[in-house]
Amino acid sequence: MTQNLLIAVASIITLGIAAEWLAWRIHLPSILVLLVFGFIAGPVSGFLDPDAMLGELLFPIVSISVAVILFEGGASLRLRELREIGGVVRNLVTIGALLAWVLGSGAACLLIGLDLPLAALLGAILVVTGPTVIVPLLRHVRPDPQVGRTLKWEGILIDPVGAVLAVLVFEAVLASGVGAATEVAVQGLLKTIAIGGVLAALGVGLLVMLMDRQWVPDFLQSPLSLMVVVAAFAASNVLQPESGLLTATLMGVALANQKTVDVKHIIEFKENLRVLLISSLFILLAARLKLGDLGGLGLSHLGFFAALLVIVRPVVVAAATLRSTLNWRERTLLAWMAPRGIVAAAVSSLFALELTEVGYAGAEMLVSITFMVIIGTVVIYGLSAAPLARLLKLAQPNPQGVLIVGAHPWARAMASELKDEGVAVRLVDTNYANIAEARMEGLPVYYGSALTEIALDAIELQGIGRLLALTSNDEVNSLTALHFSEIFGRDCVYQLPPEQLAHASKQVVSRSLRGHFLFDPQATYWNLTARFDAGADVKTTNLTEAFDYKRFRARYRDAIPLFLINEDGEFTVFTVKHPPDPAPGHRLVAIVDLVDETREYGAGAASD
């Protein structure tokens, strides 16, 4: 028995991470692949049976996992983002949630034929979207920043709101009479807000105090934060059912936005844990499905599902975005992204079990309808959201633009050449003379330090997917790369090689604290400055069969290749460790010294 349990747990983790990797390789939303893997492992093959494997531990494990995910999601929210989207987010999680509940309940009554209490409970359960589904989908779609932030805020905040609403409705269903039900709901709401707020404040206050006074060593800070989150979640749920999700979310928001201690390492730890938890939870979710659960569904249930997609969600978004600055394209994309996930599955299963035990007729249908909505929304939104976002010109799955930190003369030369090749560029510098020159050359700029919080709001990053740190200070370059790795990812931040690398020294900053080294080991700031002072320039060369990369190197022996642009316009950066392979049809951007440009050397010679 113990060995079988060990194999099952290992299989859940293995299948989850394998599905995440496969989704990345084939460019599909990870939640789709996770559902397929879980469905095959569970109802199709019978290999995994989460209920038999975990028994009564299943729902506590799922609840704690969701709490950790919500804490991490809350920690990714920045209050400064609300300056632009605050009104829409507020409306989505208040007016929008109530509208979704009322309309969803009405559709369940009219189309499925559920009685009013059961329909109200189903409508409340299906209010939630949640970070378990919306975060992977946003990572796949990569929508416009304003839309992406709105969906992220809604997905994280709506989970505790929807869970609390579902609990209040459930308690009202069990209560006798309208007056008693109303009293139960109001008291439950007030208790949830009070308990969630107080415990979140106490938890964050305790963490900040312990870290600020250095009573906890660095290696224990991340485990300690996890302990406090789980303890606060459990205490909150004991005092008021399902209020723990609100507590965990508020703790994440408060911890990330306080200014007393640095919590970046804690957030990074939770981000890694989130991937493991989401992948494992989706395998469990899909493996719990029973083929018979979906067998009793008919056309009326499909009609209900269609109503959620084409009536309920668009009406909710229309009401929430009324008088907002969002244009019709942004509202359309918001109206077409509301997948349901783990919380809806867990809450529906729990309530169906409790209602069945008290003899409530038809309660078992809650699970099958909820799972139908989860699978349907994940499949439809997962496959259609990215194409719709591209059609609406609100997404760029692989942004090719470059943010260049440093606007000195040869950085401007690189930026101008890339701009001429159709690559979006932004330059950042604290030197006003450099900024003024860049503006005169028609280059988009930001005057200020790239390391400040305000810079993240002020710099227009739409269409930008990479960072090049080109300043004269190696430490600043490393800090800048580290700072922007949170936005672009570690694989897309680059910096000039330090002087130590040019002299073959081993005294180089650790890989975890810097970006990829650019171009060539000798391409340090001062070496490049000397080359440009001697007359070097940035040139673009069309590589052909007659003038390939080998012939280019023969002509420009001391050239330093910088960038490569293929036939599809995809942009690749040359790095010290992993330079790309230029081929005919590519355009090569490189630094070349003064040569006799009048001497013909093939059809693809460098051109301005």
Tokens in use for 547?
């003038």
pLDDT at 307: 93
| Gap between the Cα atoms of 236 and 243, Å rounded | 6
> Shortest CA distance to 142 belongs to which of 515, 451, 393?
393
Strand order in the sheet with 587-592: 537-542, 587-592, 560-565, 571-573
The alpha carbon of 317 is separated from its chain's Cα centroid by a whole number of angstroms, namely 21
Beta bridge partners of 9: none
Greatest Cα-to-Cα distance within the chain, rounded to the nearest angstrom: 95
The H or E element that residue 560 is part of is strand 560-565
Q: Are 455 and 467 in contact (CB under 8 A)?
A: no
Strand, helix or coil for residue 516: strand
For 524-539, b where at least 16 C-beta lie within 10 A, e where not — what string? bbebbeebbeeebbbb
> Shortest CA distance to 132 belongs to which of 53, 68, 210?
68
| Gap between the Cα atoms of 268 and 278, Å rounded | 16
Average pLDDT over residues 567-585: 83
Average pLDDT over residues 304-310: 92
Nearest-10 Cα torsion for 140, 145, 150, 152: 40
pLDDT at 503: 53
pLDDT tops 70 at residue 506: no
pLDDT in tens, 452-478: 766 766 677 777 888 899 888 888 888
The amino acid that residue 508 corresponds to is: V
Strand, helix or coil for residue 584: coil
CB atoms within 10 A of CB 585: 11
pLDDT at 396: 66
pLDDT at 148: 83
Half-sphere exposure of 420 (CA within 13 A, CB side): 16
Cα-Cα-Cα-Cα dihedral sign, residues 418, 419, 423, 429: positive
pLDDT in tens, 334-343: 999 888 877 7
Q: Are 155 and 129 in contact (CB under 8 A)?
A: yes
Q: What's the 3-state SS for 474-488?
A: HHHHHHHHHHHHHHH
Average pLDDT over residues 566-583: 83
Beta bridge partners of 143: 395
Q: Are 185 and 168 in contact (CB under 8 A)?
A: yes
> Shortest CA distance to 222 belongs to which of 254, 269, 277, 275?
269
Tokens in use for 208?
């900040």
- The CATH number of the structural domain formed by 59-391 is 1.20.1530.20
> Shortest CA distance to 351 belongs to which of 247, 243, 241?
241
Q: Are 293 and 42 in contact (CB under 8 A)?
A: no
Between these two residues, 344 and 444, which has the higher pLDDT value? 444
597 pLDDT band (50/70/90 cuts)? very low
DSSP E strand boundaries for 413-491: 425-429, 445-447, 464-469
pLDDT at 176: 59
CB atoms within 10 A of CB 416: 17
598 pLDDT band (50/70/90 cuts)? very low
The backbone torsions φ and ψ at residue 65, rounded to the nearest 5 degrees and listed phi first, read -60, -45
pLDDT in tens, 190-236: 888 899 889 999 999 999 999 888 898 888 888 888 899 999 999 99
Considering 201-215, 252-266, 380-394, 489-503, the range whose residues carry the highest mean pLDDT is 201-215
pLDDT in tens, 381-417: 888 888 888 888 887 666 778 899 988 888 998 898 8
pTM listed for this prediction: 0.70
Tokens in use for 506?
């081993």
| Gap between the Cα atoms of 27 and 30, Å rounded | 9
Between these two residues, 185 and 93, which has the higher pLDDT value? 93
pLDDT at 601: 45
Tokens in use for 332?
């359309």
pLDDT at 603: 42
CB atoms within 10 A of CB 607: 9
Beta bridge partners of 590: 539, 561
| Gap between the Cα atoms of 240 and 164, Å rounded | 10
In the chain, the percentage of residues whose pLDDT exceeds 70 is 89
Looking at the domain covering 401-592, what would its CATH class be? alpha beta
- Name the residue ranges covered by the structural domains of the chain: 59-391, 401-592
177 pLDDT band (50/70/90 cuts)? low
| Gap between the Cα atoms of 473 and 452, Å rounded | 17
| Gap between the Cα atoms of 235 and 237, Å rounded | 5
pLDDT tops 80 at residue 293: no
Strand, helix or coil for residue 341: coil
| Gap between the Cα atoms of 262 and 317, Å rounded | 36
| Gap between the Cα atoms of 478 and 456, Å rounded | 17
Q: Lowest mean pLDDT of 97-111, 482-496, 528-542, name the range.
A: 482-496
